[in-house]
Amino acid sequence: MQTAQAAARVLADYDTPHLIVGGLAVQEHGYPRVTIDVDIVVPDVLEALEVITARLDGPFARLGGLQDRVVDRRNDVKVKLLPGGRVLRAGCKVPFPLPTRTTKQLQIVSLEDLISLKLDSWASSPLHRLKDKADVVELINRRSLPRDFKVVPAVAKLYLELWDGLKAER
pLDDT tens digits, 5-44? 999 999 999 999 999 999 999 999 999 999 999 999 999 9
Contact between 48 and 16 (Cβ < 8 Å): yes
**What CATH number is associated with residue 88?**
3.30.460
What are the strands of the beta sheet with 37-42, ordered from one edge? Answer: 19-21, 37-42, 78-83, 69-72, 60-62
In this prediction the pTM is 0.94
- Position 20 scores a pLDDT of 98
- The Cα 160–Cα 158 span in angstroms is 5
Q: pLDDT over 90 for what percent of the chain?
A: 91
- The Cα 7–Cα 52 span in angstroms is 7
Residues 9 and 62 in one domain: yes
- Position 89 scores a pLDDT of 86
Instruction: Indicate the number of domains in the chain.
Output: 2
- The Cα 152–Cα 141 span in angstroms is 19
Residues 93 and 126 in one domain: no
- Position 88 scores a pLDDT of 86
Residues 99 and 126 in one domain: no
- Position 21 scores a pLDDT of 98
Residue 50 has pLDDT above 90, yes or no: yes
Residues 92 and 24 in one domain: yes
Last residue of a domain, one of 75, 92, 109: 109
Residues 33 and 103 in one domain: yes
In this structure, of 62-66, 104-108, 125-129, 138-142, the range with the lowest mean pLDDT score is 62-66
The vertex-128 CA angle with 157 and 164, nearest 5°, equals 25
**Structural domain boundaries, residue 38:** 2-109
- Position 90 scores a pLDDT of 87
In whole numbers, what is the pLDDT of the chain averaged over residues?
96
Last residue of a domain, one of 109, 127, 153: 109
- Position 14 scores a pLDDT of 95
On the CB side of 135, CA atoms within 13 Å amount to 28
What is the identity of the amino acid at 8?
A
Pairing type for strands 37-42 and 19-21 reads antiparallel
Residues 33 and 60 in one domain: yes
- The Cα 52–Cα 105 span in angstroms is 16
- Position 64 scores a pLDDT of 84
Residue 64: enclosing H or E segment and its boundaries?
Answer: none
Residues 30 and 95 in one domain: yes
Give phi and psi for 141, each to the nearest 5.
-70, -50
- Position 59 scores a pLDDT of 96
Q: What is the pLDDT of residues 59-110, one digit of tens each?
A: 999 988 788 999 999 999 999 999 999 998 888 999 999 999 999 999 999 9
